[in-house]
Amino acid sequence: MTPKEPTRILSVRRLNQEGPGTQSLSEWWQSECQNKTPEAAAIAEAADRLQNSDIPVAFPTETVYGLGADATRSGSVQGIYKAKQRPSDNPLIIHIDSLDMLDRLLNPVQMSPTRACKTPQNSIPSIYEPLIARFWPGPLTILLPNPSGSLLADEVTSNLTTFGVRMPASPLARLLIHVTDRPLAAPSANASTKPSPTSAEHVYHDLQGRIDLILDGGMCGVGVESTVVDGLSDPPAVLRPGGIGIEELRTCPGWERVQVGYHDGTLDVKEIPRAPGMKYRHYSPKARVVLFEAGSDERAVARHVLHDLEDTAIGAHMVGVVRTKHWKRGLGLVSEGEMQRSLKPIPSLVDDLVSFSIPVKDHASADGGPVVKETFDCHLGADLESIARGLFSALRAMDEMEVDVIYVEGVLDTEGDLAAAVMNRLRKAAGAELRV
């Protein structure tokens, strides 16, 4: 099914900001409906589309924006692959509003000769109980066996015998699932391979004309996708780093020996991914990304950037620099006085995005003057939370500026679990990783 109307953005930011307070999801929804709020109308419309249409709906979670579809209907799930232009052999994560919904997935109704009855036989494996108690709702996805007679559409699991599921920390996301009364398959709401969206504007940029409706809840708080874990293997494994770190997992009973089960590249095309994000190139802007390892000498980085600007074969007319902890603005390529004269703030979803000019030696313009090339600079901040939250927005902002190359200052994987998630995304986006 193809959208028949322009893509609309409906604001539900108030719900995201206020949350349910002490109310249950049902009480919260009843209150919004009784007050006939515009947010209730937006949620109701989104839920109706999720129940009855094969065109997915974009909605915010605490990690990134998701592209949701009823996980029990094949046509609905196929709509995700069509809108994202995503390969269909890449499994999808299921989002639930409660453990009761998960129980219904694990124990589909069995028909007896005399009556319909639910026969509870599949429970959550005990290995996951401490994780669920500590991290749900939250940015953690667990792998579970897909039961016989599964309610899930085949397209969700990509023919795997397991499915990934999480309960999002975002009350707004859980409210949408609750009102829809369906488990939602929801990968990131971006065009396949592009940087994940952390705002409604990002979703609109990628998917306008491919979907009808985007729920706008404001910027996402975490900025990288959920951690995916496999407790069915021995020892347990982290299949994708994210908002919950491996050291946090190791403090939970049964997870002391959890191992890294991913690598930061991509799988061979013939390999079957155990979880989303393990196959194919991800998070990539249009520009070439060059990732410098943490601790790279800043002067050597500056020389590398200048060489690319001067090399006509590379053809770098405009470049972007994404800084984290140590690089200074301009990388010393221009004097402080020259930089201050050419600095221009750039309107963007990224807080600290500016441009300045770099003179290129041994190059002359048509009028005989020196050639200057524009450089865009974005500082994500020094703390890992800010880096993770702003990473995808920074890559997207550089694409908006139409830079040719983006140079990124990496962080140490050993600095913490969020650092591992950031570097995982950057390595999947980068065409090269250098240490100089």
Tell whether the model's pLDDT for residue 304 goes beyond 50.
Answer: yes
- Tell me: do 203 and 313 sit in the same domain: no
- pLDDT for the residue numbered 95: 98
Tell whether the model's pLDDT for residue 115 goes beyond 50.
Answer: no
Rounded CA-CA distance 166/98 in Å is: 10
More confident residue, 354 or 276: 354
Residue 348 covered by a domain: yes
Tell whether the model's pLDDT for residue 288 goes beyond 80.
Answer: yes
Tell whether the model's pLDDT for residue 336 goes beyond 80.
Answer: no
- Tell me: do 52 and 170 sit in the same domain: yes
Q: What is the 3-state secondary structure (H, E, C) of 328-382?
A: CHHHHCCCHHHHHHHCEECCCCCCCEEEEEEEEEEEECCCCCEEEEEEEEEECCC
- pLDDT for the residue numbered 361: 66
What mean pLDDT is predicted for residues 386-406?
A: 91
What mean pLDDT is predicted for residues 128-152?
A: 96
Tell whether the model's pLDDT for residue 113 goes beyond 50.
Answer: no
Start-to-end Cα distance in the chain? 50
What mean pLDDT is predicted for residues 112-126?
A: 66
Q: Say which range, 32-41, 215-224, 327-336, has the weakest mean pLDDT.
A: 327-336
- Tell me: do 316 and 216 sit in the same domain: no
Cβ-in-10-Å burial (0-12, 13-18, 19+) of 189 comes to buried
Beta bridge partners of 405: 288, 319
What mean pLDDT is predicted for residues 334-351?
A: 76
- Which pTM does this prediction carry? 0.87
- Tell me: do 299 and 399 sit in the same domain: yes
* pLDDT, tens digit (0-9, with 9 covering 90-100), for 187-217: 999 998 889 999 999 999 999 999 999 999 9
- For the chain, the average pLDDT equals 88
Residues within the annotated binding site for L-threonine? 95, 166, 186, 226
Residue 27 covered by a domain: yes
H helices of 253-343, where?
A: 298-310, 336-342
What's the Cα-to-Cα distance from 240 to each of 120, 142, 229, 423, rounded to whole Å? 31, 11, 7, 12
- Tell me: do 292 and 424 sit in the same domain: yes
More confident residue, 128 or 332: 128
- pLDDT for the residue numbered 363: 52
Domain boundary among 229, 248, 279: 229
Residue 176 covered by a domain: yes
Q: Residue 69 is encoded by which pair of tokens? A: 């579809």
H helices of 53-182, where?
A: 74-84, 99-106, 129-135, 154-157, 171-180
Residue 428 covered by a domain: yes
Residues within the annotated binding site? 63, 86, 90, 95, 162, 166, 186, 188, 196, 226, 240, 283
Give the pLDDT band (50/70/90) at residue 88: confident
Tell whether the model's pLDDT for residue 111 goes beyond 60.
Answer: no
Q: Which domain holds residue 126?
A: 8-229
Residues within the annotated binding site for ATP? 63, 86, 90, 162, 188, 196, 240, 283
What mean pLDDT is predicted for residues 328-338?
A: 83
Pairing assessment for the beta strands 93-95 and 162-166 based on DSSP bridges: parallel
- Smallest CA-to-CA distance from 160 within 102, 96, 239, 66 is with 239
- Tell me: do 35 and 158 sit in the same domain: yes
- Tell me: do 220 and 301 sit in the same domain: no
Residue 326 covered by a domain: yes
- Tell me: do 149 and 29 sit in the same domain: yes
What mean pLDDT is predicted for residues 315-342?
A: 83
Domain boundary among 229, 246, 268: 229
Q: Residue 282 is encoded by which pair of tokens? A: 């991800």
Give the pLDDT band (50/70/90) at residue 267: very low
Tell whether the model's pLDDT for residue 268 goes beyond 50.
Answer: no
- pLDDT for the residue numbered 366: 52
- Tell me: do 28 and 163 sit in the same domain: yes
- Residues of the chain above pLDDT 70, percent: 89
Rounded CA-CA distance 45/97 in Å is: 18
* pLDDT, tens digit (0-9, with 9 covering 90-100), for 151-174: 999 999 988 999 999 999 999 999
CATH number of the domain that residue 317 is part of: 3.40.50.11030
- pLDDT for the residue numbered 43: 98
Residue 249 covered by a domain: no
* pLDDT, tens digit (0-9, with 9 covering 90-100), for 33-64: 999 999 999 999 999 999 999 999 999 999 99
Domain boundary among 190, 208, 229: 229
- Tell me: do 221 and 340 sit in the same domain: no
Residue 264 covered by a domain: no
Residue 267 covered by a domain: no
- Tell me: do 28 and 143 sit in the same domain: yes
- pLDDT for the residue numbered 274: 55
- Split into its structural domains, the chain has a count of 2
Give the pLDDT band (50/70/90) at residue 386: very high
What mean pLDDT is predicted for residues 328-332?
A: 87
What mean pLDDT is predicted for residues 361-375?
A: 65
CATH number of the domain that residue 87 is part of: 3.90.870.10
